[in-house]
Structure 1
Amino acid sequence: MTFPAIDSTAVRWSVPREKVASALAERPLLIMMHGYGSNEGDLFSLGQHLPQQFVIASLRAPLQAGPGYAWFHIDYDAENASLRRDIKEITASTHQLIAWIDELDSEVGGLGDVALLGFSQGGVMLTQLFRHQPERFAAGVFLASFAVEDTTEGGSERDQALADVLPPLFWGRDSQDPVITPDLIDFSRRWLPEHFDLDARLYPHVGHSLSLEEIEDAAAFLRKNVTG
């Protein structure tokens, strides 16, 4: 089965679509990726708290999931208290994201700085994009999310290439997040510092959500690490 492409007509932009190319000729791009069962409108309002230098593109994941969309399928493994997912499906979704970015790059005539923001499942896609193209993205904001082990062919080589670059990453979460299971947090706590220049922060009583303090810290991180 062919994995669905990113729907370019569903992208929410912070500037009128007809002005995207001219805006990106002068300004950096911030790509937002929502969580499981949500949509392109979920994170878009965060833009009011983020640096105004960015042109924001909030994407819709390609798979239908309940009332919204997903980047890959997941189900809860009660016996092992973990979230099951297929790394091959995650990789296929990553390739579709890269194809969308490549298409935009061609339209614009060469993108400048590109930053990534992912919440929950969207954060998984953020780490995968960095894995596949570690030098393409200026910085990442990784919220209430987790990293996964890449067991596909070439995975260890991609991880090493990412570790050689160590791009800046902001990781915000609540240590009592009821959705992200302990095994995924344990892996993320080991893997992320080995592959990113990591700024990790905890936000109590947020749960599987975001706080204004967290978003303001993420905004300061982006100002520090992205030019434009």
Structure 2
Amino acid sequence: MSPGFAAPVVATAGSADPSAPLIVLLHGRGSHEKEILSLADHLPAHFAYAAVRAPIAAGGGYAWFANRGIGRPIAESLRATMDWFTGWLATVAPAGRPVVLVGFSGGAAFAGGLILDEPSRYAGAAILYGTLPFDAGVPTTPARLTGLPVLVAQGEHDTVIPRELLDRTWDYLLGESGAPAVARRDPVGHGLAAPAVQTLAEWLQDHLDRPAGRRPAGAQRTAAPGQRRDPAVAGE
């Protein structure tokens, strides 16, 4: 583990099979692992879920990095916490075990940093109601995520994450990143819409259970109105 950080606190759900695909749930800023773990109740039960507590105390909860503004990590802080996280991941998911990151808000930025830093390590990532960590020491070059399945979900009325960062994330992931992306925007604010959760469940099955090349039925860019605010996704 990286100096200065305690060993990760992890809450688990789903399959106990050490070879089952591992879905790592990353909470928002000011939240904690037990909140995001409740998202697993709405996802396929035969996968393994691990909700990790971020290492930095913040706002009555925890954060993945120090920032210079919402959605803008300080590069040195992001580097330190990514190294801490990948050290833990190596102990629970040796090479060959599929790992998918699912991050909400600040956890989405952290997930984005991880896949941009080492795209070949992961089987996919869901960037939910958050931004990629642009200008924070990880590459956002063209074709960086070629072949890596990505799900993007955003709220049209999100006033927490700066709109310029949401738009930049959307454009990069659906464009020059090279990722095979599924994306949706729902008429909600900074909280998961129920159709987005359904799309997430279908997307996980699509990429971990089904033959390559198929897309989940929920793959779309917009959805019917209806907001679901889950304690699992509290925090920025």
Q: Same fold (TM over 0.5)?
A: yes
Q: Which amino acid aligns with 2:166?
A: I
Aligned to 1:222: 204
Q: Secondary structure at the match of 1:14?
A: strand
Aligned to 1:73: 66
TM-score w.r.t. length of structure 2: 0.79
Q: Which amino acid aligns with 1:144?
A: Y
Q: Which amino acid aligns with 1:219?
A: A
How many residue pairs get aligned? The number is 207
| 1:199 equivalent among 182, 192, 196 | 182
* Residue 30 to residue 184, structure 1, CA distance change in 2 (3 Å): same
Distance in 1 between residues matched to 2:83 and 2:134, nearest whole Å: 17
Q: Does structure 1 retain, via aligned residues, the 8 Å contact 2:26–2:52?
A: yes
* 1:146-225 paired onto structure 2 within 5 Å: 146-150=131-135, 152=137, 155-156=138-139, 159=141, 162-163=144-145, 165-193=146-174, 194-195=176-177, 196-205=179-188, 207-225=189-207
Aligned to 1:79: none
1:34 paired to 2:27: yes
Q: Does structure 2 retain, via aligned residues, the 8 Å contact 1:24–1:111?
A: no
Q: Which amino acid aligns with 2:165?
A: L
Aligned to 1:51: 44
Q: Which amino acid aligns with 1:209?
A: G
Distance in 1 between residues matched to 2:115 and 2:6, nearest whole Å: 18
Deviates more, 1:41-50 or 1:188-197: 188-197
* Residue 39 to residue 111, structure 1, CA distance change in 2 (3 Å): farther
Distance in 2 between residues matched to 1:161 and 1:91, nearest whole Å: 22
Aligned to 2:126: 141
Distance in 2 between residues matched to 1:57 and 1:204, nearest whole Å: 29
Identify, as 1 or 2, the structure richer in helix: 1
Q: Does structure 2 retain, via aligned residues, the 8 Å contact 1:38–1:67?
A: yes
Q: Does structure 2 retain, via aligned residues, the 8 Å contact 1:4–1:96?
A: no
Aligned to 1:64: 57
Report the Cα offset of residue 132 of structure 1. Answer: 1.9
Aligned to 1:112: 97
Residues 179-209 of structure 1: per-residue CA shift (max 9 Å, x gap): 010221232123222222111101112x111
Q: Secondary structure at the match of 1:171?
A: strand
Aligned to 2:231: none
Q: Which amino acid aligns with 2:184?
A: R
Q: Secondary structure at the match of 2:203?
A: helix
Report the Cα offset of residue 160 of structure 1. Answer: 5.3
Q: Does structure 1 retain, via aligned residues, the 8 Å contact 2:71–2:106?
A: no
Residues 75-123 of structure 1: per-residue CA shift (max 9 Å, x gap): 54xxxxx6543122112211111111112235xxx45211110000101
Report the Cα offset of residue 223 of structure 1. Answer: 0.5
* Residue 83 to residue 136, structure 1, CA distance change in 2 (3 Å): closer
Cα RMSD, aligned residues only: 2.3
Q: Does structure 1 retain, via aligned residues, the 8 Å contact 2:72–2:134?
A: no
Q: Which amino acid aligns with 1:12?
A: A
Distance in 2 between residues matched to 1:30 and 1:6, nearest whole Å: 22
Report the Cα offset of residue 170 of structure 1. Answer: 0.8
| 1:97 equivalent among 85, 102, 117 | 85
Distance in 1 between residues matched to 2:149 and 2:73, nearest whole Å: 26
Percent same amino acid among aligned pairs? 28
Q: Secondary structure at the match of 1:41?
A: helix
The runs of 5 or more residues in structure 2 that have no matched partner are 211-236
1:24 paired to 2:18: yes
